[in-house]
Structure 1
């Protein structure tokens, strides 16, 4: 297992981060225990969750994943100090979470306390903003014409960011959180938070997690360049594009219990003809390399310059074993060249 600094923090994390959003919906406490125990045995020391999990988010599953992790922590107190636990505060759009309101200073204080209670821990190692208050070009909204940046009041956004940073600073000073980070942000968002932190002596964002995989490359090169030069850890989420890069959804298949079998069809913006054409190519490349399609996608993601730690998720221990093994794979130049040609053929499939 390789370990890297989490951006400008003092934390060393494994280059694999164990994602947990299926726990509480597709997976129960026993499943989660098995995944955590196996991951730790392989050297993984980084677990990511969020207050809104499990996914798909519902009022009934809100906070369930944190509670499952908290149950494990309560039974393994001696191992807590060796783990980096990351969680996230939800933003607008979920009526059952603070009435769907934006992230505010008050919301941060309230959400941190609730997460600590569910996680059954005294501190959170990395506390992240799950998505910006403003509409951002993520989740299929990156195409021209879908967002009007000129309609945004940047000073209003800066004022909100500053209020959030002051609340995060209060939590850091009280020992409730160690470091802070972003999720589903942009280069402007990163830059603005860093400027405000420097100007006002407030906590610096040490990381960002965005979707990044063979089918979704919008962060390369500009956002990742920003992360490298500003010492902000880049944490790809959904490196398998919600599982489609495993090949299991080929020809319209919806395996029972899989994420796409339980998701709202209207929310499956990754389900496009171009996606499946590209996946077919990657499946064939994986066969030539004697890898599973999932391992090919993960091994490729790991080797991208600027990637710090890749967030992986699994609904079975067998999937987790397969995924973790991918990080021992070193793709040869011939395979990388073929992948590069395929990326050029399918640069943006959804």
Structure 2
């Protein structure tokens, strides 16, 4: 297992981050315990969760994933210092979470306390904003004019960001959280938080997690370059594009119990004819090189310059073990050239 610095935090995190969003819906406590124990035995020291989880989100599953992790932590207190726990406050739009209201400093303070209680921990290593208050070009909204930043009140956004960051600063001083990160944000969001931190002597952003995969590589090179030079860890989520890059949904297949067999809050926006063509092409390359499609996609993500730790999740131990092997697989020049040829044909298939 390789370890890489989590931005300017000084923490060393494993190149694999264990994602947890299936715990509490597709997976139960026993499943989660098995996954955590396996991952830690393999050298993983980084677990990502969120107050919103399990996914797909619902009032019934809100907070359940943190509770499951908290149960494990309560039974393994001696390991708490060895595990880096990252969680996230949900943004606006979910009526069962703070009435769907946007993130505020007051909301941050209350959400941190609630997460600490569910996690049964005195502190959170990395506390992240799940998505910003403004509409950002994520979740399929990265095409021109699907967002309209010219209509946003920039000054009001900055005021709101300062309010959030001040609450983060208070939580750091109180020892409730150690570090601050972003998710589903943009270069402007990163830069604004950096500027506010410097101006007001508040915590610096140490990481950002955005969707990044062979089907969704829009953060390369511009946002990732900024992360490298500002010493911010880049944490890809959904490196298998919601499981699509495993090939299991090709031809309209919906295996029972899989994520795409469940109703999705954002819809199946990754499921397009071009995406299916790209996935089939990657699957063919993987077969020629004696890899599974998932291993190919994860190994590609891991070797991208600037990637710190890739967030992976699984609903079965077989999937988790398959995914783990990808991180010890070198990609030959020939294989990378074949992948690049497909990526150039399908740079943005959804």
Matched, 1:134 2:141: no
CA apart distance, 1:145: 1.7
Matches within 5 A, 1:240-251: 240-251=240-251
- SS in structure 1 at match of 2:207: strand
Q: Secondary structure at the match of 1:85?
A: strand
Gaps of 5+ in 2: none
Kindly report the root-mean-square deviation, in angstroms, between the aligned alpha carbons of the 2 structures. 0.7
Q: Note the alpha carbon deviations across 1:205-232, whole angstroms, 9 max, x for none.
A: 1000000000001101110011000000
Specify the SS of the correspondent of 1:47.
strand
SS at match of 2:107: helix
Give the Cα–Cα distance (whole angstroms) in 2 for the partners of residues 89 and 252 of structure 1: 34
TM-score computed with the length of structure 1 as normaliser: 0.99
Question: Where do 1:16-27 residues align within 5 Å?
Answer: 16-27=16-27
Written as runs of structure 1 = structure 2, the 5 A alignment for 1:1-150 is: 1-150=1-150
State the alpha-carbon separation in 2 of the partners of residues 314 and 349 from structure 1.
24
TM superposition score normalised by structure 2: 0.99
- C-alpha deviation, 1:149, in angstroms: 1.1
Aligned pairs for 1:138-287 within 5 A:
138-264=138-264, 267-287=267-287
Distance 1:288 1:299 in 2: 15
**Structure-2 separation of matches of 1:189 and 1:266:** 22
**How far 1:263 moved relative to its partner?**
2.5
- Structure 2 CA distance, aligned partners of 1:219 and 1:35? 29
Counterpart contact for 2:139–2:266, Cα < 8 Å: no
CA contact (8 A) 2:56 2:265 kept: no
Runs of 4+ in 1 over 2 A off after TM superposition: 263-266
Residue deviations 1:90-148 (CA, integer Å, cap 9, x gap): 01000000000010000000000000000000000000000000000000111112111
1:339 is matched with: 339
Residues 276-306 of structure 1: per-residue CA shift (max 9 Å, x gap): 0000000011011111100000000000001
Matched pairs, number: 350
Whether the 8 Å CA contact 2:22–2:54 is kept in 1: the answer is yes
- Flag structure 1 segments of 5+ consecutive residues without an equivalent: none
Distance 2:327 2:333 in 1: 17
Over 3 Å counting, the alpha-carbon distance change for 1:245 and 1:267 in structure 2 is: same
Deviation at 1:337, TM superposition (A): 0.3
1:265 Cα deviation after fit: 8.4
The aligned residue for residue 314 of structure 2 is 314
In structure 1, the residue corresponding to 2:179 is in which secondary structure? strand
Query: Match for residue 326 of structure 1?
Result: 326
Equivalent position SS for 2:223: helix
Tell me, in whole angstroms, the C-alpha distance in 1 between the residues paired with 2:142 and 2:264.
Answer: 21
